[in-house]
Chains A and B, each alone.
Chain A
Amino acid sequence: MFVSRKSLPRRAVLRGLGAAASLPLLDAMFPALTPLAKAAAAPSLRFGAVYFPNGAIMPQFTPKTFGSGFEFTPILQPFEPYRDNLVVVTNLTRSHPGSQVGDHAVSAAGFLTGIWPKRTEAEDVFANTTIDQIVAQQIGQQSPLPSLELATEDFSGYVGGCSPGFSCAYMNTISWSSPKTPLPMETNPRAVFERLFGEPGTAGEQRSRLVKRRSILDSLADDAKDLERELGPRDRARLGDYLDNVREIERRIQQSEARSVTEVATPEAPLGTPDTFDEHVALMFDLAAAAFQADVTRVFTFMMSRELSQRTYPQIGVTEQHHSVSHHQNNPQKIAQMVKINTYYAELYARFLAKLHATPDGDGSLLDHSLLVYGAGMADSNGHASDPLPVVMIGGGAGKGARHVEVPARTPIGNLWRNVAERFGANVEQFGDSTGKTNVLA
């Protein structure tokens, strides 16, 4: 919405229609896309966290040996080309206080939070500020969008399909801007595109739209104050969130206005949500890569699919639902199917890595200037195991690559997030249930 772009003549719009059928949609525009912050001397480090649901078959995920000479396992095979940029971390655990029953809600909500979320279906949801948001607090203000949250599954088709006793919010997002504030994840590529690059229109139209929107935001505060006067404390607190959001959007608009002197050719908008999972995931990754490249945001999270997902993957020969395969009951056939799914996800993610690797950024590539987490909040899925979690850190930000690091058994994942926070200059004393700080990002 906030990046100004060259006016698109009618011809271009029509041409765009013809091109729209060939996917991935954004491929065509990549060469044309130039970073906004051209003048920046040293490229800044980006952060991304990509989540896959329903756990993994750990023996096929975790390399057999530690250190640098490890062999790639079947599930990690797609990452082999990025060996020198990659650190596998083994033995992390999500929070599991006492005898609490772990399931899918606490896996999604426990991964980037490092905490056991409060069991409730009501408004008193409580988790923890996630690592991506800690990073966003640190570096997010330097770009129009502090962070971008992406997903693929429209969860409105999963009513009643959440973990018993846990609010659906715990499963619908992996990103929380405060312990009480789950950040909704966007599944519609078109909407993501418009947030990143603006609604259709000429540069002049976009600029006047920004001006109008700013004046609306100014004026909305008065409406909110009217309400505030009448409301009780509980409702006032909810409205407080609203006003914070209004202020945050004002900041973004100011940033965009300041930047709009740079005109940049942006891609054609994608036309909606693709009907295959493959295309949808590819498009979301493309948008994240484009956002990094144009420096619209430096932080993103992406839930490739949702915990408890009922998706089937006939394209790779898995016709049973993901969740039901994941409870494999040690049946070798089901385990093999689960490995297929885990590998397939890694392949989809590796395509994104390839794109970042191929995109120049300052003195290196976007991959060189990123710290990317790939993993899940569940280990073996049969019994919802909380450890050892599948976690891979990729990108120049991970430090020396080609390592398989073994941390002490059941190291809270918060210890790793403290390490990540430090990497971005944030000093976090305690992250969820952390008991210390790993030194993985050497």
Chain B
Amino acid sequence: MPEQNHSWFCVCLAALLTVAHLDAQALQTAQGPARQVIDKYCITCHNQRTKAGDLILETADLNAIPAHSEMWEKVVKKLRSGTMPPAGAPRPDAAGYSAAAAWIEARLDSAPPYAGRPVLHRLNRAEYANAIRDLLHLEVDIDTLLPPDDSAFGFDNVAEALGVSPALQERYLAAAAKIAALAVGDPAQAPITHTWRIPQDLSQDQHVEGLPLGTVGGTSVRHNFPLDGEYRIQAKLYRTNLNIMRGLESVHQVEFSVDGKRVYLAKIGGPEDLASLFKAPTDTGDAVDARLQAIVPISAGPHSVSVAFLQDSQFAEPGRLQAFLRSSVDNFDWAGHPHLQVLMVAGPFHASGVSQTPSRKNIFVCQPVNAAQEPACAQTIINTLMLRAYRQPPSSADVHRVMEFYASGRGSSSDHPSFDRGIQAALERILASPKFLFRAEADPAGVKPGSIYPVSDLELASRLSFFLWSSIPDDALLHLAIQGKLHDEATLEREVRRMLADPRSDALVENFAGQWLQLRNLRNFQPNTDLFPDFDDNLRQSFRRETELFFESILREDRSVLDLMTADYTFVNERLARHYGIPDIYGSWFRRVPVHDEARKGLLGQGSILALTSHAERTSPVLRGKWILQNLMGLDVPPPPPNVPPLPEEKDGDKPRTMREQMTEHRANPVCAACHRTLDPIGFALENFDAVGAWRSEDAGAPVDASGELADGTKVNGVTELRQALLRRPENFVTTVVEKLMIYGLGRGLDARDMPQVRAIVRNAARDNYRLSSLIQGVALSMPFRMSTAVSQTEVARR
């Protein structure tokens, strides 16, 4: 065959040019299966003349693979995923693919070990909030205190993206002052109003999880009350855009409760309100809102406040006939329920002191009974706080600096000396410190630039706690580190197990899974209300909750990550069960259910993923394909080239084209085809799920065609076959999970030098059926996690 002659010629040429002392035969043997596959299948395009994708394999030196690891890692990805050679071109068989990839990987893995080094790491918003929770036993509403953080490589805990600016620094100072006042209970805290807005598309004609049974709609919030005193709880009801309050046709009772106990009951609606509404809508709305407030004495500390409507049998059922039609979708629907729009808590007024709160209990580890005991007790309190906040024993200079603030906060005898104010000032100073806000790691003295060394036990403790808990280490972890025991492998393993079992590891669900699977983005998903009138915020929240609970079950039950794709169970409430067509599920709480429908098994059958990869009006096979390639298969999807030619316009009288037909035209353009041929068939296989993840067998009047040919030549039809194809080599999926865990755990992007470590973790976890815990253990025990590369002078140039 001419093609083979050509490649043979090239090999000879390459051999003559690069390794002239070997003859071609010897070269073939020495370079094993990789050379054979490359010569036979790759260099038709990747030669010096064609240079497809700027890649020349023809002359590539297979004896110097580690020196060109970046290029070879890409080659391995293409081989492992079967995406090259492209469809239509001759390809090796499975064994050929595997042998070539394995041979190259073995060379890549022989590279000298690499640890890397994250840059100075600022706590991100979630880490800051968790640190405050663990340091002070105080849950703060972090979104009001700090701005969101930039992200890179898909995660917002990547050190390189966490910059500082004067505006941010000001927010840190203000946050430190507010938190210290709240935690200690500063009597001078001015009355302030906190507001919670209820999304307009939240249906409120059914029971809301977390609210008292026998109520519908409303909301419940957990709030920290700064002092003992009076607080005003106030609610406002939803009005249409013509300022007409909804739901006044008949009487409704609005219940306010604190910690589940009713504190106020208001009556709204009925003939009088309705008559008045017709005459003066704005005044009537204002008058009704004015009834919805109560002044309530509340003690300092966290309490839950809720406002909801008492369920009235007269109104219990209208929604059931047309299940889950959004109850607030139509501005002119006068048959609707009233809707809570805003809940406000203002205060404190007539503050009378500060009770024992969880945070005061946690801060005041001692209580001086007279002035003489104060300095020693202050020292104890401050030392304890600093050890935890700075994640290391504070130096005497550190303590001295903070004690100065204690002294000036406490005041002298001439005014009103206050021990509490002293502690508050000290706490404010601690929270403002860069030693709290930054995770600094220092090279040990005398270490050679570029060399690899184990990080200190204290640094390791912080790495662990921020990885597994998105928070500061607890005392047990700190003490192991202080005793110098943490670096011991068995101890480290035990600690990882202990920390994973701790509820604080929920942070992995919220922050790792929330970003890896992009669940956080669901918040921005707003499907077209005309096309999807049933979609409401209840469903949006349920989508996210399902996948979070699902991921959590894999973590807590120590399951294989492959179960993420294949598990025969999931979590639903009534709202979601109806959406999926699962019968006999009632109530707003989530519960575990078996999944019998093959199509719904695993992540690919979950509404969250299917919705966040859709447009407002339709599904997007491209977005779905891209999401799967990037997040499950670990393949890069390049951006579309500029100035993509438009699809040919539809002329009058033309038959409307289906999405698939339009996409086919798109792929006829060779510029587009290169990527879309890989992306689209994956998305097509999911076409039985509409833009909100509901099952459909028809689209626009035609039966759904969910068939296609994947880039590796596998023909699939529908989600089940797609899932099987994606898992044919489970290592591909597992490798992706490990890469994401590494980025998240190390707080830095990965490059080719990290891949040998990733493969080692995958190999080790294979023996354990790829349990999520063993992947996490693998990351925590890996060299990059426990070691650091000493900073060399050349790194200065990067700034």
Tell me if A157 and B521 are in contact (CB < 8 A). yes
Docked Cα-Cα span, A224 to B432, in Å, equals: 11
Which of A175-183, A285-293, A349-357, A408-416 makes up part of the contact surface?
A175-183
Residues of B whose CB lies within 8 Å of any CB of A are: 119-120, 125, 143-144, 147-156, 159-161, 163-171, 173-174, 176-178, 188, 190-193, 195, 197, 199-200, 232, 234, 236, 289, 342, 344, 346, 349, 395, 397-398, 401, 404-405, 408, 425, 428-429, 432-435, 438, 440, 442-443, 514-515, 518, 520-526, 528-530, 615-617, 630-631, 636-639, 641-644, 646-647, 649, 749, 790-791, 793, 795-796, 798-799
B639, A121: Cβ atoms closer than 8 Å: no
Q: Which residues of B contact A223 (CB under 8 A)?
A: 398, 401, 433-435
| A1 beta carbon closer than 8 Å to chain B | yes
Complex contacts, B649 vs chain A, CB 8 Å: 330-331
**Residues of A1-53 contacting chain B, CB below 8 A:** 1, 10, 13-14, 16-17, 20-21
Q: Is A155 an interface residue (CB 8 A)?
A: yes
Tell me if B425 and A212 are in contact (CB < 8 A).
yes
When the two chains form their complex, are residues B119 and A155 in contact, meaning their CB atoms are under 8 A apart?
no
With A122-B749, A320-B616 in contact, is A17–B442 under 8 Å at CB? no
Sample 21 A-B pairs with CB under 8 A, ordered by A number: A21-B289, A101-B641, A124-B799, A156-B125, A156-B151, A159-B518, A168-B151, A184-B168, A186-B147, A199-B174, A199-B177, A215-B405, A216-B432, A219-B405, A220-B433, A226-B435, A245-B169, A271-B193, A272-B144, A314-B529, A330-B649
Query: B434 and A242: CB pair below 8 A?
Result: yes
Alpha-carbon gap, A161 to B150, bound state (A): 12
Question: Which candidate, A230-238, A365-373, A391-399, A425-433, is the interface stretch facing chain B?
Answer: A230-238
Q: Are B161 and A169 in contact (CB under 8 A)?
A: yes
- A contact residues around B793 at 8 Å (CB): 233
- Give, as a whole number of angstroms, the nearest-CB distance from A217 to chain B: 8
Of A154, A216, A238, which contacts B428 at CB under 8 A? A216
A321 interface residue (CB < 8 Å to B): yes
Give chain A nearest CB distance to B284 CB in angstroms: 14
Closest to A238 in B: B120
Q: Is A441 an interface residue (CB 8 A)?
A: no
Q: How far is the CB of B150 from chain A (nearest CB, A)?
A: 5
**Contact A241–B163 (Cβ < 8 Å):** yes
Interface of B is mostly: mixed
Q: Is the CB of B443 within 8 A of A239?
A: no
**A275 near B795: Cβ-Cβ < 8 Å:** no
Distance of A117 Cα from B716 Cα, bound (Å): 41
Contact of B643 among A123, A237, A252, A383 (CB under 8 A): A383
Q: Are A383 and B153 in contact (CB under 8 A)?
A: no
A74 partner residues in chain B, CB cutoff 8 A: none
Would you call A59 an interface residue if the criterion is a C-beta within 8 Å of the partner chain's C-beta atoms?
no
Could you give, for residues 64-104 of chain A, a 1 whenever the CB lies within 8 Å of some chain B CB and a 0 otherwise? 00000000000000000000000000000000000001110
Q: How close is A167's CB to chain B, nearest CB, in angstroms?
A: 5
Out of A163, A249, A272, which one reaches B197, CB within 8 Å? A272
> How many angstroms between the C-alpha atoms of A200 and B616 in the bound complex?
41
- Which residues of A sit under 8 angstroms from B169, Cβ to Cβ? 242, 245-246, 249
* CA–CA, A438 and B514, complex, Å: 48
- Nearest Cβ on chain A to B584's Cβ, whole angstroms: 34
B346 and A13 contacting across the interface, CB-CB below 8 Å:
yes
Q: Which of A188-196, A259-267, A340-348 contacts B (4 or more CB under 8 A)?
A: A188-196
A311 CA to B192 CA, complexed, in Å: 32
- Excluding A10-B191, A220-B432, A239-B434, 4 further A-B contacts by CB distance (< 8 Å) are A220-B434, A232-B443, A241-B164, A330-B649
CB-contact partner of B167 in A168, A186, A242, under 8 A = A186
Q: How far is the CB of B664 from chain A (nearest CB, A)?
A: 15
Most chain B CB within a 10 A radius of its CB, from A191, A232, A275, A310 = A232
Q: Is the CB of B199 within 8 A of A275?
A: yes
Other-chain residue from B197, B520, B524 in contact with A275 (beta carbon distance below 8 A): B197
Cα distance, A213 to B174, chains bound together (Å) = 9
* Interface mask (A303-323 → B, CB under 8 Å = 1, otherwise 0): 000000011101000011100
> Which residues of A are in contact with B by a Cβ distance under 8 Å?
1, 10, 13-14, 16-17, 20-21, 101-103, 121-124, 149, 154-165, 167-169, 172, 177, 180-184, 186-188, 190-191, 194-195, 199-202, 205, 209, 212-213, 215-217, 219-220, 222-224, 226-227, 230-235, 237-239, 241-242, 245-246, 248-249, 252, 271-275, 310-312, 314, 319-321, 324, 329-331, 382-384
B171→A191 contact, CB < 8 A: yes
Taking a contact as CB atoms closer than 8 A, the residue among A17, A157, A213 that contacts B193 in the complex is: A17
- Indicate the member of A156, A215, A230 with the most B CB atoms within 10 Å: A156
Contact, CB under 8 Å: B397 / A222? yes
Pick the residue among A172, A194, A226, A274 that contacts B150 (CB under 8 A): A172
Interface centre among A102, A191, A274 (most CB of B within 10 A): A191
A103 contacts across to B, CB distance below 8 A = 639, 642
Residues of A within 8 A of B615 (CB): 320-321, 324
Are B173 and A383 touching (Cβ within 8 A)? no
A190 — which chain B residues lie within 8 A by C-beta? Answer: 144
Is A159 touching B521 in the complex (CB atoms < 8 A)? yes
Task: Decide: A184 and B147 in contact? CB cutoff 8 A.
Answer: yes
In the complex, are the beta carbons of A227 and B149 less than 8 A apart? no
- Can you name the residue of chain B whose Cβ is closest to the Cβ of A332? B649
A165 to B438, CA, bound (A): 27
With the chains together, A103 CA to B642 CA distance in Å? 8
Closest to B234 in A: A17
Considering the chains assembled together, what is the distance between the CA atoms of A182 and B149 in angstroms? 12
B798 to chain A, nearest CB (A): 5
Docked pose: A321 CA to B150 CA in angstroms = 23
CA distance A237 to B120 in the complex (A): 10
- With CB as the reference atom, state the residue of chain A lying closest to B636: A164
Q: Are A157 and B616 in contact (CB under 8 A)?
A: no
In the complex, are the beta carbons of B170 and A195 less than 8 A apart? yes
Report whether A319 and B168 are in contact in the complex, using a CB–CB cutoff of 8 Å: no
With A and B bound together, what is the CA distance between A168 and B149 in angstroms? 10
A10, B796: Cβ atoms closer than 8 Å: no
Output the least CB separation between A415 and chain B (Å): 23
Pairwise interchain contact B156-A237, C-beta atoms closer than 8 A: no
Chain B residue nearest to A170 (CB atoms) is: B150
**A231 in contact with B147 (CB, 8 Å):** no
Given contacts A122-B749, A239-B120, A320-B617, whether A154 and B173 have CB atoms under 8 Å apart is no
A-side contacts of B432, CB under 8 Å: 216, 220
- Contacting pair B344 A10 (CB below 8 A): no
A122 to B158, CA, bound (A): 9
Query: Are A227 and B434 in contact (CB-based, < 8 A)?
Result: yes
Chain A residues whose C-beta falls within 8 Å of the C-beta of B144 in the assembled complex = 188, 190-191, 272
Name A182's closest neighbour in chain B (CB-CB). Answer: B163
